[in-house]
Amino acid sequence: MRNVATSDRNTANGKRLTRSAGLMRRRRGGDLAFERLAPGGPVLGLLPEVTYQSGDTSLGPGDRLILFSDGLVGATNSKGLEFRHERIERAVRDHADLPPDELKREILGQLAGFMGSEQLQDDLTLLIVEVPAKQDQR
């Protein structure tokens, strides 16, 4: 699988810059396939005159696009451990047939359990889009 996040050090302030992309869940008949989407460049809007790579994909009936910001990936618990892509991907795989709104609640519930009493240190975005499946695909 392709890497969907990288970390760099901003030499101006020492903060880590993480960029995220997302996941695709593809449904073909009764089969599901998962793939990570690679980022096309550094954090949006932070660095002037940066070049970004783009890519194309198509969505078919039953496919799902899960996009999230680095606020979800980089959320930390009291031990300083990050939530990371692997936890998001595991939740998406383990709950692949939940409707998008329930999957979102599941991921955010897992995040809350992971963080315990810690507070988010960054904004968080989680967007789940699904192309309606044909009746005979489910």
How many domains in the chain? 1
Kindly report the CATH number assigned to the domain that includes residue 32: 3.60.40.10
Domain that holds residue 81: 20-37+58-133
Q: Is residue 51 part of a domain?
A: no
Q: Is residue 26 part of a domain?
A: yes
Q: Is the pLDDT of residue 15 over 50?
A: no
- Report how far residue 58's alpha carbon sits from residue 26's, in angstroms, rounded to the nearest whole number: 10
Q: Is residue 42 part of a domain?
A: no
Q: Is residue 138 part of a domain?
A: no
pLDDT at 104: 97
pLDDT at 21: 72
Q: Residue 133 burial by CB count (10 A; 0-12/13-18/19+): exposed, middle or buried? A: middle
What integer best gives the mean pLDDT of the chain? 81
- 64-103 burial, b if ≥16 CB within 10 A, otherwise e? bbbebbbbbbbbbeeeeebbebebbbebbeeeeebeeeeb
Q: What is the pLDDT of residues 32-89, one digit of tens each?
A: 999 988 766 676 777 888 887 777 888 999 999 999 988 999 999 999 999 999 999 9
Q: Is residue 10 part of a domain?
A: no
pLDDT at 16: 42
